[in-house]
Amino acid sequence: MLIGELSRRAGVKAHQLRYYEAQGLLEVDRGANGYREYDESAVLRVKQIRHLLGAGLSSEDIAYVLPCALGEAPELPGCPELLTAMRGRLRRLEDQMATLAGSRDALTRYIDAAERMGGDSYPPFDGAAS
């Protein structure tokens, strides 16, 4: 199938398919005319990639786990190397969440302090950087 049909069947844009190909996540053949040609398994592969991206895995992580993926969801066997990779990604996500929570709390404190100091007497701030 051509890229347009895969895009429609998998529910992603063609540029995303080209990105997955560039990242080594999606295999593609070229026809005599130079057009990308995908086999039927590409639909499942793209759906697996989308689910794994939704779980916060990077393209590099996905390249590592994708050969083990089973089904659309996908299911991943619990081999030690795979679990180590996914736990590492989970730790990175938790670190990012903690950093964001700290930033949110600091910003809340600044807003509270500004309001206590008469923040209503200033002109409205439109959020644009000057």
Spatial separation of the C-alpha atoms in residues 80 and 73, rounded to whole Å: 20
Q: Do 25 and 67 have their domain in common?
A: yes
Answer yes or no: is 38 within a domain. yes
Question: How much is the pLDDT for 82?
Answer: 78
Query: Is there a single domain that holds both residue 60 and residue 101?
Result: no
Identify the domain containing residue 4 by its residue range: 1-77
Q: What is the pTM of this model?
A: 0.69
Residues 95, 47, single domain; the answer is: no
CATH for 72: 1.10.1660.10
**16-28 per-position pLDDT tens digit:** 999 999 999 999 9
CA atoms within 13 A on the CB side of 100: 6
Of 76 and 108, which is predicted with more confidence?
A: 108
User: Looking at the structure, do residues 103 and 63 belong to the same domain, yes or no?
Assistant: no
Closest CA to 3 of 33, 38, 30, 41: 38
